Structure 1
Amino acid sequence: MMDKKKVVVAFSGGLDTSYTVMYLAKEKGYEVYAACANTGGFSPEQLKTNEENAYKLGAKSYVTLDVTREYYDKSLRYMIYGNVLRNGTYPISVSSERIFQGMAIARYAKEIGADAIAHGSTGAGNDQVRFDMTFLVMAPGLEIITLTRDSNLSRQEEIDYLNSNGFPADFKKLKYSYNVGIWGTSICGGEILDSRQGLPESAYLKQVEKTGSEVIALKFSKGQLVGVNGEEFTDHIKAIQKVEGIAAPYGIGRDMHVGDTIIGIKGRVGFEAAAPMLIIAAHKFLEKFTLSKWQQYWKDQVANWYGMFLHESQYLEPVMRDIEAMLESSQRHVNGVVTMELRPYSFQTVGVDSPDDLVKNKLGEYGEGAKGWTSDDAKGFIKVTSTALRAYYLNHKDEAEQIENEL
């Protein structure tokens, strides 16, 4: 007998990947290896259920690939360094994790000598691009199988197939679909499909349970979160989870993102990301005190590109390593504690205590008094600074008169 071909299925436990496992094992005769790449979005109970279901569906093997720390070390910390928010709104939550899930699946496929990799993406979203591009680069030569996309399968067709083959597919058509990760939860479906509407309270997984207000203190060392309310962390992931536990019950970090998908259509997604929004806001606030004007300016430019490349599945583009080097270098003086006040649905920055605070200096206090220059120095500086404008309007007196008349 010929050996069966090996296929690794990127297995989330959802309908599409469950169908993929069973169909490839039963109908196509593949030796199926189900692999769940966890970037912080699965609970131990969910992972246990995934394993049990994978074997029921016909998988020869199941494995959980935990890449949460790799995701933080190789990308998430740079998103914090760069204060990355797509379109100034969305912390690129689950979408940025897809790259690392794809890389983990590709590595595993090569380790076991697989012939193919399969995933459950449809043909109408971003994930098909993220997975396919990662596999093409990281596992060249392996066949990529996408049953849902290629056959344009409906949910009901997949459910009927699983049920008819003895798997009780309890995949009811829910009003909303959720993707949960360490850097936030995305919400699709329901009212989001109508541009005129927003999400109701019931759509969010984490409900508002806290009232009143409280103060939270976030400590950063070289741009990384290392302390929460006086508790020190060497594990940055646990520090993020600590912030999430404190802030999520206030309903902080909820918003709606509208943007351009990789394939060219507009997309809309709701999200809840308490820890990301707090951490980014605190970090950006601290940088205002500790970075120079031009450090902030140029860091904003490259960070915007970093976020765009992440979203558009260009993490493996070599320039990303160059951007990361610049972002990391910029963080050498981003140290200190940021105090913030939390209340239901909102927060505000309060203050900063930093050894690198540039507001504290011996040259002067803004709006109070100058110590590093004299009044004559100030008048000379202002006169020289105005030289270009004075020269322009001396040569274009008609424009100067027009401005005078309009004023």
Structure 2
Amino acid sequence: MPKLQDVKKVVLAYSGGLDTSIIAKWLQTELGAEVVTFTADLGQGESDLEPARRKAQDMGIKEIFIRDVREEFVKDFVFPMFRANAQYEGVYLLGTSIARPLISKHLVEIARETGADAVAHGATGKGNDQVRFELSAYALNPDIKVIAPWRDWTFKSRTDLLNFARDHQIQIAKDKLGEAPFSVDANLLHSSSEGKVLEDPWVEAPEYVHQRSVSPMDAPDQVTEIVISFRKGDPVAIDGKEMSPATLLSALNDLGRDNGIGRLDLVENRFVGMKSRGVYETPGGTILLAAHRAIESITLDRGAAHLKDELMPRYAELIYNGFWFSPEREMLQALIDKSQEEVEGDVRLKLYKGNVIVTGRRSPKSLYSDALVTFEDDRGAYDQKDAEGFIRLNGLRLRTLAARKRKS
């Protein structure tokens, strides 16, 4: 941990919310540090950006960075992850996890640009984000100092925080005067909600928790059909219209939202050791995962496809635990990207009341052969008699084992 009294200038990952506003003022008053704020536009909503700027200005902050990183986020972080079909513990599409290394990357860059000697974040000491922010920062600058106020300050309760905010004229939204019903993190890939009304895993999440989708029960009684086109494993077009990465994911989000797609209620194992319950919504990502697996099904060799599936849990765990910039993640990424060189073509899907249904796939690089799978005359493409020797060879060890069992 850095010696806090030695820190002169800090770049703070700033959302504009109450917690990070309190952190900014705490850094100024308790550490006497000059504060630089960085707010990433990750697609969480434009309404959050200008208020963040105004709040930072009201606290006397001179260097305020607001960067639109949506295209970088999807192109360099989300799409590489989806080439791997990454899902943590089999279901979670890692929407929060994949955003943290990008934020840390910009924190470190801004620290270098402004001459700051530290970066700071608002993650608590109980969660995964503190690990993700800090491991990423150290991987990019081994000498950077990282300040985590939730681990360092002396506030004991929410009341202490609110009193500090009042004492320093920090605006407190009316719904923040008491205990917040749940916390929300959002970006272009997903929204996540956790805490308070969601802490009991037996109690169904209230409908108002959901940020990004209509209820599947309330979705239209009408099928939406789309075609997603892929090139080198990445989606490049919807219904023949090519789009930039962020624009394409945003379009998939709209389609998923309107059809009640992408909801997940999960109890997960945090890296720090505890279990937590979260409600996630990943409408566009859920569609994309189904489509990507479908195009892989006709373009990937069996051995390559199965190896990818074996490696995926490890790859997903690395991202979840904050090791995006680790050599092992980069090694796995190289293997995954190699597998995607011929993953090209179109996938047709139907979207209906929370379901993503694959109805067709085609590719100029397809390994699917009508001549091999047909029940009609295969014209010598496959001699079924060859299967007898194949089975006998593969059955040899099983027959040997069975003979030993019979003797005993």
Q: Check whether TM > 0.5.
A: yes
What secondary structure does 2:123 align onto?
Answer: coil
Shift of 1:361: 4.2
What secondary structure does 2:331 align onto?
Answer: helix
CA distance 1:382–1:110, shift in 2 (3 Å) = same
> What is the distance in 1 between the residues matched to 2:368 and 2:154?
59
Instruction: Judge conservation of contact 1:339–1:351 (CA < 8 Å) in 2.
Output: yes
The residue that corresponds to 2:361 in the other structure is: 352
Counterpart amino acid of residue 141 in structure 2? A
Answer yes or no: is 1:222 the counterpart of 2:224.
no
Counterpart amino acid of residue 102 in structure 1? S
> What is the distance in 2 between the residues matched to 1:385 and 1:132?
50
The residue that corresponds to 1:376 in the other structure is: 385
Shift of 1:298: 0.8
Instruction: Say which is worse superposed, 303-312 or 31-40, in terms of deviation.
Output: 31-40
Answer yes or no: is 1:341 the counterpart of 2:350.
yes
Shift of 1:152: 5.5
The 4+ residue runs of structure 1 with deviation greater than 4 A are 367-370
Shift of 1:240: 0.8
Shift of 1:57: 2.0
Instruction: Judge conservation of contact 2:94–2:320 (CA < 8 Å) in 1.
Output: yes
**Structure 2, unpaired ranges of 5+:** 1-5
The residue that corresponds to 1:6 in the other structure is: 9
What secondary structure does 2:399 align onto?
Answer: helix
> What is the distance in 2 between the residues matched to 1:72 and 1:87?
22
Instruction: Say which is worse superposed, 384-393 or 13-22, in terms of deviation.
Output: 384-393
CA distance 1:80–1:137, shift in 2 (3 Å) = closer
Counterpart amino acid of residue 201 in structure 1? E
Of 323, 333, 338, 1:324 maps to: 333
- The number of aligned residues is 394
Instruction: Judge conservation of contact 2:41–2:67 (CA < 8 Å) in 1.
Output: yes
> What is the distance in 2 between the residues matched to 1:167 and 1:145?
21
> What is the distance in 1 between the residues matched to 2:377 and 2:189?
44
Map Cα deviations across residues 217-275 of structure 1 (whole Å, 9 max, x no partner): 11111111011122222x11211111111121222100112222111111221101011
Instruction: Judge conservation of contact 2:191–2:212 (CA < 8 Å) in 1.
Output: no
Answer yes or no: is 1:231 the counterpart of 2:267.
no
Instruction: Say which is worse superposed, 127-136 or 374-383, in terms of deviation.
Output: 374-383
Answer yes or no: is 1:89 the counterpart of 2:96.
no
Of 38, 55, 58, 2:57 maps to: 55
The residue that corresponds to 1:299 in the other structure is: 308
What secondary structure does 2:90 align onto?
Answer: coil
CA distance 1:66–1:155, shift in 2 (3 Å) = farther
How do 1:65-80 residues align onto structure 2 when only pairs under 5 Å count?
Answer: 65-80=67-82
Map Cα deviations across residues 287-339 of structure 1 (whole Å, 9 max, x no partner): 11211111111111222221111111111211222111111111122111111
CA distance 1:191–1:168, shift in 2 (3 Å) = closer
Percentage of pairs with the same residue: 28
The residue that corresponds to 2:287 in the other structure is: 278
Of 203, 219, 239, 1:197 maps to: 203
Map Cα deviations across residues 331-374 of structure 1 (whole Å, 9 max, x no partner): 12211111111112222211112222322343342x55544233
Counterpart amino acid of residue 353 in structure 1? R
CA distance 1:29–1:377, shift in 2 (3 Å) = closer
Of 11, 17, 21, 2:24 maps to: 21
Counterpart amino acid of residue 104 in structure 1? H
What secondary structure does 1:386 align onto?
Answer: helix
> What is the distance in 1 between the residues matched to 2:117 and 2:279?
37
The residue that corresponds to 2:135 in the other structure is: 133
Answer yes or no: is 1:186 the counterpart of 2:192.
yes
Counterpart amino acid of residue 399 in structure 2? R
> What is the distance in 1 between the residues matched to 2:401 and 2:121?
62
**Structure 1, unpaired ranges of 5+:** 400-407
Instruction: Judge conservation of contact 1:120–1:149 (CA < 8 Å) in 2.
Output: no
Of 314, 319, 324, 1:310 maps to: 319
Instruction: Judge conservation of contact 2:139–2:326 (CA < 8 Å) in 1.
Output: no
Instruction: Judge conservation of contact 1:211–1:250 (CA < 8 Å) in 2.
Output: yes
Instruction: Judge conservation of contact 1:219–1:226 (CA < 8 Å) in 2.
Output: yes
Shift of 1:90: 0.6
The residue that corresponds to 2:66 in the other structure is: 64
CA distance 1:385–1:353, shift in 2 (3 Å) = same
Instruction: Judge conservation of contact 1:107–1:138 (CA < 8 Å) in 2.
Output: no
What secondary structure does 1:168 align onto?
Answer: coil
Instruction: Say which is worse superposed, 128-137 or 291-300, in terms of deviation.
Output: 128-137
TM-score by length of 1: 0.90
The residue that corresponds to 1:403 in the other structure is: none
> What is the distance in 1 between the residues matched to 2:146 and 2:9?
12
> What is the distance in 1 between the residues matched to 2:332 and 2:154?
38
Of 165, 170, 177, 1:167 maps to: 170
Root-mean-square deviation (Å): 2.2
CA distance 1:376–1:184, shift in 2 (3 Å) = same
Instruction: Judge conservation of contact 2:11–2:120 (CA < 8 Å) in 1.
Output: yes
Shift of 1:27: 4.1
The residue that corresponds to 1:211 in the other structure is: 220
Shift of 1:133: 2.1
Map Cα deviations across residues 63-100 of structure 1 (whole Å, 9 max, x no partner): 11333333333332221111111111110001221111
